[in-house]
Structure 1
Amino acid sequence: MIRDTARSSTAGPPGSDPDYTDEVTVNNETSQASGDVPRRKRAEKTVEITDPKAIRALAHAARLEVISELYATQVSHTATELAARTGLTPSAMSYHLRALQKWGIVAPAENAGDARERRWKAAGTDFTISGGSVASPEIAVVDLELDAFRRRASAFAKARGERRQRGETGEEPAAVVLSSNLLYLTNPQRRELLDRIRAVLREYELEDPTQIPEGAERVATLWSMIPDDRVAPGQ
């Protein structure tokens, strides 16, 4: 889980309150089909990034895609496999993987093999960006996460339109959900809300991400909590 990407993303601009933490979250993109599917119980290890240089290193669409894939699925991949997902060459992807390894975000998997077949894995189960008072780097990351969401939404809309043109008009669930709220929350309430949403998302994470239930499909979620500094009407 990245605390944006795939798994859901939660982000907010830094405030003056020392208790406030910016986070970008990517949740497991494989949904549960039934209550009989084992939920995640594996040992957790959070990789937290606080160095502004490391945060700036994340401001690249391909790197965020890699982080999302590795942390969401907890499955190792080669540079060639990841390159195919991002449209890069394997050599370019190897460069990005080494950059992520430098900051302890990814690591070579066991039995990694030679450079061409080396497999890479997430360095933990959860990934957190804690920017503190450093604004620009994590905002750049948020922009990339939003761009990724737009690409997913556009690709889904295009694919659904093509299915309808082919006459494949079977009943479809409300596959795309987008809603917004304005709340007044204290810092403890913000933390409580964040913890509760994380807990709900964890209920749908698989114990073994490679054992996907029949009928399940990847679902990307995006969730945000951003302080609204605009003046409210009447104030």
Structure 2
Amino acid sequence: MAAARSSAKAHSAARPLDLVILRDPRAIKALAHPARLAVIDELFAGRKLTATECGEIAGLSASAMSYHLRALEKWGIVRRSEATGDGRERPWEAAGEGLMVDSAEPRASAAGEAVLVARQLDRQRADILGWISGQDEAAAAWYDSTVISSGVFSLSHDEAKQLSEGISELVARLPRRSAADAPTGTRQVRVAFSVVPIPAGNQQPEPA
């Protein structure tokens, strides 16, 4: 799931992603719900899940989860997939390969975006701390591929935009695999980055 207000143009150099772009503040608000966000990552990773399976992920009953899935469907975030198995319950799938918030009304959507970003950061924090505290011999081979980095740079608007688009282009080249199609030896990897101007009151002093 893309970060709020990222740029769709960032994918132009690679194969363009089929993005679900949220511009309506009401759609952004609808997304920023714990139960809905709990299944968004799974669906946009390529999984097709029934309401019962989504409910197990979110800790809700199938009927309660169906309500949330229909709310996401209303805004074009998820959709019904083709029936599988006995066809008694059609699974749900993401309505695109990626999800991006690009509000046309930044002030109107600010509260919804703040909740959405906070939820995303909570999930990232849980994944990172879970990885650090739970590493074992089986995970040792992944150590040199793990990066947790943060820095502050003085950039122009154009430089920041170029950085955002360059990183997004790299991410767009990554293979899009569902869990069922993933080759042996792969595992889910969370890729997250932010390019965000620091508020004026929080500016750090220039190095001497």
**TM category, shorter:** 0.7 to 0.9
**Is this contact kept in 2: 1:106–1:120, CA < 8 A?**
yes
Q: Structure 2: which amino acid aligns with 1:47?
A: V
C-alpha RMSD of matched pairs (Å): 3.1
2:69 counterpart of 1:97: yes
Percent of counterpart pairs with the same letter?
35
Distance 1:101 1:114, change over 3 A: farther
> Which of residues 159, 170, 183 is equivalent to 1:200?
170
What is the total number of aligned residue pairs between the two structures? 196
2:191 counterpart of 1:221: yes
Q: Structure 2: which amino acid aligns with 1:125?
A: E
Residue 55 of structure 1 is matched in structure 2 by 28
Offset of residue 197 of structure 1: 0.8
Structure 2: state its 5+ residue gaps: 9-13
2:92 counterpart of 1:117: no
What SS class does the counterpart of residue 158 from structure 2 fall into? Answer: helix
Structure richer in helix, relative to its length:
2
> Which of residues 126, 146, 149 is equivalent to 2:124?
149
User: Which whole-Å CA distance do the structure 2 matches of 1:46 and 1:170 have between them?
Assistant: 32
Residue 6 of structure 1 is matched in structure 2 by none
What SS class does the counterpart of residue 142 from structure 2 fall into? Answer: coil
User: Which whole-Å CA distance do the structure 1 matches of 2:181 and 2:87 have between them?
Assistant: 28
> Which of residues 156, 173, 187 is equivalent to 2:142?
173
TM-score by length of 2: 0.79
User: Which whole-Å CA distance do the structure 2 matches of 1:170 and 1:121 have between them?
Assistant: 30
Structure 1: state its 5+ residue gaps: 4-9, 12-21, 26-39
TM-score by length of 1: 0.71
Distance 1:192 1:81, change over 3 A: same
Residue 58 of structure 2 is matched in structure 1 by 86
User: Which whole-Å CA distance do the structure 2 matches of 1:210 and 1:92 have between them?
Assistant: 26
Ranked by relative contact order (alpha carbons within 8 Å, sequence separation 6 or more), the top structure is: 1
